[in-house]
Structure 1
Amino acid sequence: MPHPDTQPQSSNMGIATYLFGRLKQLGVKHVFGQPGDFNMGIIDVIEDEEGIEWIGCCNEMNAGYAADGYARVNKMGVLVTTFGVGELSAMNAIAGSFSEMIPVVHIVGTPSTEFQSQGAMLHHTLGNGDYKTYYKMYENITVAQTVLTHHNAKDEIDRVLKECYIRSRPVYISIPADICVKETFADLTQPLDFTIPENVHEVEYAAINKVVHHIHRSANVIVLIDACASRHNVVKEILDFIEKTGFPFFTSPMGKGIISEDHPLFGGIYIGSVSEPHVKNEVEKADLIISVGAIRSDFNTGGFTYHVSPAKTIELSNNYIKVFFATYGGVSMKHALPKITACLESMPGPQISPPYQHKILEDDVKDERITQNWFWHEVSSKILRKNDIVVGEMGTSIFGLMDIKFPSGVAFIGQILYGSIGYSVGACLGASLAATNFKEKRRVCLFVGDGSFQVTAQEMSTIIRHDLKPVIFFINNNGFTIERMLHGMDRKYNDISQWKFDKTLEYFGGSDKVCRTIKLSTKSEFESFASSQLPEIPSQILFVEVMMDKYDAPRALVGTACNTAEKHMKEKVLPKLHEELHRKTVAGEKY
């Protein structure tokens, strides 16, 4: 449950002051956005408000990515934009948060009520006098929307914030310029009620009985944890369940790191046919699968290749329990899971195979070029540390991270479902600021490729300006390798212009005192860096450029991309891809 950061208040106060007072009670200490003439009154309130800091970003889309990354670490993020041009720029980021179920509050400063009532032809409008157009656009990518007035502000703020928190999705708050400073009687002494309604007893009772019955009659039960276990705050409940029952648990890519991967019952990452053989075997041979918070998107399932039958799967969701083919609607796993656990006896779990460890190919060891297979093994064994926050970009980074085991307490941020290129740089900014809210220092590690980086690189200036110190592993593989794996291996549209990436931090204003750049082209250079030059808690921004070949890709990416492409193209892709890569190798091209 959120806790107040300030002393509660009950008095007349400005409407925007009340809004940010509530947000502070929800743990928000940083607000992202960009100024515009219709939101500057709101930003004035933020800058004057104690305990909350304005973080001006380079554009609204990046600010939305930052708010998303912040929310994944801090439980809620906030974005402030101006009307029209600002909110439309942020729309892609908010759509991503909606898709991935991230609680972001989008506050939009709009023209005054007088101008709106007149239908005035102001800048940032469509020139048609309709001030509801952009609001209507947001109805499909937010779970609650409101336009604040002098009379409804308190109730509407409370309503919308509760929807954001409970449903774990973005909301939209429009504040006209003349409304934000108007005073209203507001009571911050009464905390918001985030209690989830109890399940209907008869339906919940029937569902729990069925679940317990099938668990008792099954000899080999495994638990498959996905992203919604975290989004809907049932991590403690599922951990209690697996520790009491002793059932081994596996996660999807989107569920990676939700429960510590050094837990003795952790079996690995299940990605359908792309899974490591022992993981695929353990999951698919189970008599009963308890699926928690499933999101069955293409990249989360190895290209729709989950080979688990509904006839042996029990699904626990935020608003239903499904036992094989029977659905019990309106039953929340938040309330049902502890009752299921209470009905079960403590029991030792079955033995599971040890988590997969990368096998380095002999040729990889002999060859001084840094390959994907070798690199991710090194990341797992020598780079990542306990309680790191790991941000991965959609591409080689996300898929490389899928195959490695995280140390205890590592949190993982990646946009696997929505997959907007460049998301990770803004998310790194947000996660780095959220990390400052913890008493114990946590290191943020970003893994991003050159193509994605070019989309949002300017946000490095914001990271530098706020004295944040992430470790950035920049994979320079000369273009969009994930797209090459999908289609167009040598098409020009998958190439990019080669910037002088080693000058990135310098260009964006970083001095040698606060920034450090390293370029690694060989295995020997990387090993030297990993063994002696990587601090526990960085005192500088560390930008590590790692040179790789454009035709090289992690195992999980090749398999998933081929499965996905085959679904679209209706023909076998994997043999063709291997043949193409082999041809390039024989021809003497790098691979």
Structure 2
Amino acid sequence: MASTDIATKELQNPMDVAEYLFRRLHEVGIRAVHGVPGDYNLSALDYLPKCGLDWVGNCNELNAGYAADGYARVKGISALITTFGVGELSAVNAIAGAYSEFVPIVHIVGQPTTQSQKDGMLLHHTLGNGDFDVFTKMSSAISCYVARLNDPQDAATLIDSAIRECWIHSRPVYVTLPTDMIYAKVNGDRLKTPIDLSSPSNDPEKEDYVVDVVLKYLRAAKNPIILVDACAIRHRALEEVHELVEASGLPTFVTPMGKGAVDETHKNFGGVYAGNGSNAGVSDVVESSDLILSIGAIKSDFNTAGFTYRIGQLNTIDFHSNYVRVRYSEYPDINMKGVIRKVVKQMGKLNPAPAPPINNTLPKSEQTSNSQTITHAWLWPTVGQWLKENDVVLTETGTANFGIWDTRFPANVTAISQVLWGSIGYALGSCQGAALAAKELQNRRTILFIGDGSLQLTVQEISTMLRNKLNPIIFVICNEGYTIERYIHGWDASYNDIQPWDHVGIPKVFGAQSGYKGYRIKTRDELLKLFADQSFCVSDDLQLVEVYMPRDDAPAALKLTAEAAAKRNE
């Protein structure tokens, strides 16, 4: 009898590796798996239904990766399945973006059998040189953990560790699943013990010391403020942030990547801080503060309107998932959640200054305008008046990503954008995953704003949305090409132009006979009428809206950031 058979016989509750893996995914809240079928993962896909998981079936692996990213940002974690070589490499851009922006995706790659790999066989989807590790090495640089399921003895342990690392670090993990390992047996009784997803506790003495240091500067400050950024969202510190905002009464601001982290209807909320691209009145308050409690900061160029932050480290306390920095002193291996909780309990009463008022009122120039042209200055405050609580709002890299800074959200809005990685076309793929997650959570609208140029990169996912009966509202900003690129370089260059499409007709091209509606909007009155139509605001149909805007119009923040990018590129 083979040693593997003996090992299987000794198991109390033998279970196939694929079933164990998928049941663990279900355990952490995943209900649908994105990806593209390929011969090295087909047998594994057969296990999905019995584990309570739906197969999405995307049009290509890049889009599937984007969709998994959007799903994770709404549900907390996601899964992606691709096939060896050709499939996984097509998803690399999306996985790199998720790594960059701290999005947890379990990337499962179907591989040839372990014996084929040992023998270095000349198989399809390889480089033809017998090297079966080359793609794993590529992905290891954009994954926080790699689990090679090559041996049943440690497969279950590696699966549990991969999912835990993915959750704790909020970054992608890479899991290989050779075809012969799909049916290999592991101990199913392990499923009786849930994976421990709790973050490691801070050393109590060290944590108390850091809290004392933070309180020392906080109590001495005359006009402290709170600035919330993306990693507060990604590392699940929003509950602690909300408690700090409420208990302290301090004026609270978000960065562009932090949109949605704070209840923007709260009396403490003062708007978006992005250096020169800040909401009106915000930069004066933030930059004159003598203490900034900066939570989860990612100070990238697009997040700071071209590095135009004017806040010094001497007046800043940085809270992160793995360290706290008080002015110029850094305390490693300290998670911000425990520190913030204790600060809230011990800080006592503060005397904060009021936050600057912020609303969705149109700028004076737009209030007095008789023009019917839809401009960015008019559009984004108007969108804020139309949005509802619990909406999921996606904005594509470009005009929408910057325009949304001027939209004040209702409560509990989830904002999705890719400010740091900035892969054009991301938002449409992400919208599919976000809409699916919103459908699972129920009673959440999914709304996408995307440019006509960006849409052309990933338009196939509208087909996936129709197939899965999803109902996002997609606004296509029709402004004749790549506006953000024009502002950086090549204003009239042909490479920034696109072929105009009939966007309203796209769902029909993808085979939809029903289940969708299309609109072509060219004036302000037409858009206001659409926003007032309840059958549009709440619908079971996918809705696609063309919004026509001037070719040379853009949000002021985009112009500033693009100018800074152009100078750096020189």
Q: Is the 8 A contact 2:448 2:473 kept in 1?
A: yes
Of 343, 351, 369, which aligns to 1:365? 369
Partner of 1:303: 306
Q: Is the 8 A contact 2:425 2:455 kept in 1?
A: yes
Question: Which is further off, 493-502 or 107-116?
Answer: 493-502
Question: Which is further off, 64-73 or 256-265?
Answer: 256-265
Partner of 1:213: 216
- 1:203 is displaced (CA, Å) by 2.9
Partner of 2:325: 322
- In structure 2, C-alpha distance between the alignment counterparts of 1:218 and 1:465, rounded to whole Å: 56
- In structure 2, C-alpha distance between the alignment counterparts of 1:368 and 1:20, rounded to whole Å: 53
- In structure 2, C-alpha distance between the alignment counterparts of 1:73 and 1:377, rounded to whole Å: 24
- In structure 2, C-alpha distance between the alignment counterparts of 1:355 and 1:167, rounded to whole Å: 34
- 1:487 is displaced (CA, Å) by 1.1
- 1:228 is displaced (CA, Å) by 0.5
Of 244, 261, 267, which aligns to 2:264? 261
- In structure 2, C-alpha distance between the alignment counterparts of 1:137 and 1:239, rounded to whole Å: 39
| Cα separation, partners in 2 of 1:363 and 1:436, compared to 1, 3 Å | closer
Listed as ranges, the gaps of 5+ residues in structure 2 are 1-11
Deviations 1:12-39 (A, max 9, x none): 1110100111110100000000000001
Q: Is the 8 A contact 1:441 1:537 kept in 2?
A: no
- 1:534 is displaced (CA, Å) by 5.1
Of 194, 201, 206, which aligns to 1:203? 206
> 1:416-435 residue pairs with structure 2 within 5 A?
416-435=419-438
- 1:568 is displaced (CA, Å) by 3.5
Partner of 1:6: none
- One-letter code aligned to 1:370: I
SS at match of 1:488: coil
Question: Which is further off, 351-360 or 116-125?
Answer: 351-360
Of 479, 490, 493, which aligns to 1:491? 493
SS at match of 1:188: helix
Deviations 1:311-342 (A, max 9, x none): 11011111111111111111111221111112
Partner of 1:170: 172
Partner of 1:472: 474
- Identity across matched positions, percent: 42
- 1:566 is displaced (CA, Å) by 2.8
- One-letter code aligned to 2:387: L
- 1:125 is displaced (CA, Å) by 0.2
SS at match of 1:210: helix
> 1:475-554 residue pairs with structure 2 within 5 A?
475-511=477-513, 513-532=514-533, 535-554=536-555
Partner of 1:20: 22
Partner of 2:115: 114
SS at match of 2:543: strand
- In structure 2, C-alpha distance between the alignment counterparts of 1:230 and 1:54, rounded to whole Å: 27
Partner of 1:225: 228
Partner of 2:9: none
- In structure 2, C-alpha distance between the alignment counterparts of 1:472 and 1:57, rounded to whole Å: 18
Of 231, 234, 239, which aligns to 2:237? 234
- In structure 1, C-alpha distance between the alignment counterparts of 2:291 and 2:525, rounded to whole Å: 47
- In structure 1, C-alpha distance between the alignment counterparts of 2:481 and 2:535, rounded to whole Å: 27
- One-letter code aligned to 1:176: P
SS at match of 1:69: helix
- In structure 2, C-alpha distance between the alignment counterparts of 1:248 and 1:367, rounded to whole Å: 36
> 1:47-58 residue pairs with structure 2 within 5 A?
48-58=49-59
Q: How does the TM-score come out when normalised to structure 2?
A: 0.95
- 1:50 is displaced (CA, Å) by 4.3
Partner of 1:587: none
- One-letter code aligned to 1:188: L
- The question of 1:375 aligning with 2:379 is answered yes
- One-letter code aligned to 2:342: K
- One-letter code aligned to 1:124: H
Deviations 1:253-286 (A, max 9, x none): 0000112111111010000111134101110111
Listed as ranges, the gaps of 5+ residues in structure 1 are 1-9, 570-591
- 1:360 is displaced (CA, Å) by 4.8
- In structure 2, C-alpha distance between the alignment counterparts of 1:197 and 1:376, rounded to whole Å: 41
Q: Is the 8 A contact 1:84 1:134 kept in 2?
A: yes
Q: Is the 8 A contact 1:278 1:353 kept in 2?
A: yes
- One-letter code aligned to 2:483: T
Of 36, 43, 49, which aligns to 2:38? 36
- 1:362 is displaced (CA, Å) by 4.9
Question: Which is further off, 137-146 or 240-249?
Answer: 240-249
- In structure 1, C-alpha distance between the alignment counterparts of 2:107 and 2:173, rounded to whole Å: 6
- In structure 1, C-alpha distance between the alignment counterparts of 2:481 and 2:82, rounded to whole Å: 32
SS at match of 1:151: helix
Aligned-residue Cα RMSD (Å) equals 1.5
SS at match of 1:152: helix
- In structure 2, C-alpha distance between the alignment counterparts of 1:408 and 1:529, rounded to whole Å: 23
